[in-house]
């Protein structure tokens, strides 16, 4: 339970840091146009070379209702940390759709994943995961996927990586 509480506290602190509009620049997006101001879901994957399992997690927040959903899981380790991040995204998408959440701003701390998702053809090793992601993506009314880059503000430095 401590891990879940820690994840929720960290996600809330991260969300609070995003409230100063001048400090947030969305440097990458797979969805043309503005980022949704509504509900969002942060995803993350944890991967260690010496471990046989990896951790997946996501945190969903609806600013309109104040409700949150949190998920964490472990699975057998795949090819790379990037695959773990992709697994976390696909799982979060499936759960959001299961909860009938069809407008979602997905966010990650992995800029490489956002780039990869925007150029699927270049990553054939993850073809099966891409097929599942595309199947889910078609069910969303809006699917912006971003890597928020935090910049220096008022003498403090924050980082998402």
> Is there a domain that residue 123 lies in?
yes
> Is there a domain that residue 159 lies in?
no
Mean per-residue pLDDT, 108-116: 84
Mean per-residue pLDDT, 11-35: 47
> Is there a domain that residue 157 lies in?
no
Mean per-residue pLDDT, 78-84: 87
> Is there a domain that residue 90 lies in?
yes
Task: Flag whether pLDDT at 117 surpasses 80.
Answer: no
Mean per-residue pLDDT, 96-109: 91
Q: List phi, psi (to 5°) of 104.
A: -145, 135
pLDDT of 47: 84
If DSSP states are collapsed to H, E and C, what string results for the chain?
A: CHHHHHHHHHHHHHHHHCCCHHHEEEEEECCCCCCCCCCEEEEEEECCCCCCEEEEEEEEECCCCCCEEEEEEEEECCCCHHHHHHHHHHHHHHHHHHCCCCECEEEECCHHHHHHHHCHHHCHHHHHHHHHHHHHHCCCCECCEEEEEECCECCECCCCC
Mean per-residue pLDDT, 123-136: 84
- The residue segments making up the domain with residue 75 are 2-150
Task: Flag whether pLDDT at 157 surpasses 50.
Answer: no
> Is there a domain that residue 41 lies in?
yes
pLDDT of 15: 63
CATH number at residue 42: 3.30.420.10
pLDDT of 120: 66
Mean pLDDT in the chain? 75
> Is there a domain that residue 98 lies in?
yes
> Is there a domain that residue 26 lies in?
yes
For the sheet containing 24-29, what is the strand order?
A: 24-29, 145-150, 105-108, 40-46, 53-61, 68-76
More confident residue, 81 or 20: 81
More confident residue, 77 or 31: 77
> Is there a domain that residue 36 lies in?
yes
Number of domains composing the chain: 1
More confident residue, 86 or 161: 86
């Amino acid at each position: 339970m401590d891990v879940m509480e820690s994840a929720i506290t960290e996600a809330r602190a991260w969300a609070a840091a995003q409230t100063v509009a001048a400090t947030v620049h969305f440097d990458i997006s797979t969805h043309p146009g503005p980022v949704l101001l509504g509900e969002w879901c942060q995803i993350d994957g944890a991967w260690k070379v010496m471990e046989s399992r990896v951790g997946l997690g996501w945190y969903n927040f609806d600013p309109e209702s104040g409700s949150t959903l949190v998920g964490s899981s472990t699975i057998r380790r795949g090819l790379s940390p990037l695959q773990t991040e992709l697994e976390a995204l696909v799982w979060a998408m499936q759960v959001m759709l299961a909860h009938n959440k069809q407008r979602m701003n997905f966010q990650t701390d992995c800029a490489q994943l956002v780039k990869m998702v925007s150029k699927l053809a270049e990553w054939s090793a993850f073809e099966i995961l891409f097929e599942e992601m595309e199947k889910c993506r078609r069910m969303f009314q809006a699917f912006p996927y971003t890597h928020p880059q935090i910049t220096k503000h008022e003498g403090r430095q924050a980082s998402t990586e």
